[in-house]
């Protein structure tokens, strides 16, 4: 895995980073990471990026977000998928943050899972991007590529996460999602992966290809 990670670190910078990393800023803002993840569900990166930027120009913290109406949020984030539901979810999250967490996004996965619309993928992204704490975010790209390599043999992203927590060296946890998502969007695609162009081909079992 050490050599694979070295190659990925050299390979990935030629492409755009995943949208959540772009809109969260630097250093990453845990609130923006959380809201960007909500927007990104079932939505293409380009659409998510534009919607998040429009929304954060109106409000970039829980208190200011609560001053917006559902219609204002809907208008800002359209045409992300399920934009009406997401507008309500965002307001519910912000209300919970203000009332129970003093406007501070939690830095623990189990605590983040208490929020509506937050699954393990989003919770892990928040703690890794927002707090630089160890976590393994597994989305469809990470799940697919790890199984394609033959590094894991699992049926769901959640099962992949727990296997990786046992198998993947901790020093790679935080960057793993960013590297594999970018690889999955550009080379190791779900259909017709560009194996002949991939410098990781010799490490890949090509399971299911």
pLDDT recorded at residue 26: 47
Domain spanning 19-131: CATH 2.30.30.100: no
Residue-level pLDDT at 24: 47
The pLDDT mean for the chain works out to 93
pLDDT value of residue 65: 98
Closest CA to 124 of 30, 39, 25: 30
pLDDT in tens, 74-122: 999 999 999 999 999 999 999 999 999 999 999 999 999 999 999 999 9
Q: Sign of torsion, CA 45 48 54 56?
A: negative
- Give the separation between CA 122 and CA 130, rounded to whole angstroms: 11
Q: Domain ranges in the chain? A: 2-16+135-203, 19-131
Phi then psi for 137, rounded to 5 degrees? -90, 120
Nearest to 140 by CA among 191, 175, 95, 106: 191
Please give the model's pTM, rounded to 2 decimal places.
0.86
Distance CA 52, CA 59 (A): 10
Which candidate, 199, 208, 207, 206, places its Cα nearest to that of 3?
A: 199
Calpha distance 209→205 (Å, rounded) = 9
Q: Which CATH class is domain 2-16+135-203?
A: mainly alpha
pLDDT of residue 22: 54
Q: How far apart are the first and last CA of the chain?
A: 21
d(CA 145, CA 140) in angstroms, rounded, equals 8
- Identify the pLDDT of residue 20: 62
Predicted pLDDT of residue 45: 84
* pLDDT < 70 regions, the chain: 18-28
Report which of 10, 87, 82 is spatially closest to residue 43, judged by C-alpha positions: 82
């Amino acid at each position: 895995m050490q050599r694979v990670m070295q190659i990925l670190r050299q390979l990935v910078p030629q492409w755009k980073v995943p949208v959540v990393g772009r809109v969260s800023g630097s250093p990453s803002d845990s609130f923006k990471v959380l809201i960007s993840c909500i927007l990104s569900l079932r939505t293409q990166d380009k659409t998510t990026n534009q919607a998040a930027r429009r929304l954060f120009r109106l409000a970039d913290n829980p208190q200011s977000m609560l001053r917006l109406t559902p219609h204002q949020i809907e208008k800002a984030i359209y045409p992300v998928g399920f934009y009406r539901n997401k507008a309500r979810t965002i307001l519910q999250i912000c209300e919970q943050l203000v009332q129970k967490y003093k406007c501070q996004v939690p830095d623990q996965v189990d605590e983040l899972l208490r929020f509506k619309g937050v699954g393990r993928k989003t919770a892990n992204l928040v703690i890794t991007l927002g707090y630089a704490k160890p976590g393994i975010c597994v989305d469809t790209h990470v799940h697919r590529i790890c199984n394609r390599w033959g590094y894991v043999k699992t049926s769901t992203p959640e099962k992949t996460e727990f296997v990786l927590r046992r198998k993947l060296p901790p020093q790679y946890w935080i960057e793993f999602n960013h590297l594999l998502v970018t690889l999955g969007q550009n080379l190791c695609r779900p259909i017709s992966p560009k194996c002949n162009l991939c410098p990781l081909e010799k490490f890949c079992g090509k399971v299911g290809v």
